[in-house]
Amino acid sequence: MVKRELIKEISERMSITQVEAKQFVKVFQDILTEELQQNRPLELQGFGTFTSWKQIGRAARNPKTGVPCWIEPRVSAKFRPGKFLLEALNKVDK
């Protein structure tokens, strides 16, 4: 599913316009970004937790050319799924 499809699905399920659904998605993205920039996790209980983490700089190699290069340190994001999401994903039909 891509963002456009997500907006359409939210619009249909919540009986709101696609413009309103698009605004909802944008606000969620903005809040998530702001929290992670402040190094604060965003927890959606039962669904999962988004956190930021610092990757250290490291030596690497270009896979196409084999030329050594340096990857600069950067901040990245992680998602850790929650209990209910994992249970839903691993639900076995009986």
pLDDT of residue 30: 98
Averaged pLDDT for residues 20-38: 97
Q: How many domains, in total, are found in the chain?
A: 2
d(C-alpha 76, C-alpha 58), whole Å: 15
Domain of residue 74, residue span: 44-94
pLDDT of residue 93: 64
Task: Check whether residue 49 and residue 65 sit in a common domain.
Answer: yes
β-strand 74-81 against 68-71: which pairing, if any?
unpaired
Model pTM score: 0.79
Closest-CA residue to 80 (of 38, 53, 51): 51
Q: Measure the CA angle with vertex 6, ends 3 and 10; round to 5°.
A: 140
Whether the predicted pLDDT of 7 surpasses 60: yes
Task: Check whether residue 48 and residue 94 sit in a common domain.
Answer: yes
Averaged pLDDT for residues 31-39: 97
Task: Check whether residue 52 and residue 76 sit in a common domain.
Answer: yes
What confidence tens digit (pLDDT) does each residue in 52-89 have?
999 999 999 999 999 999 999 999 999 999 999 999 99
Task: Check whether residue 69 and residue 54 sit in a common domain.
Answer: yes
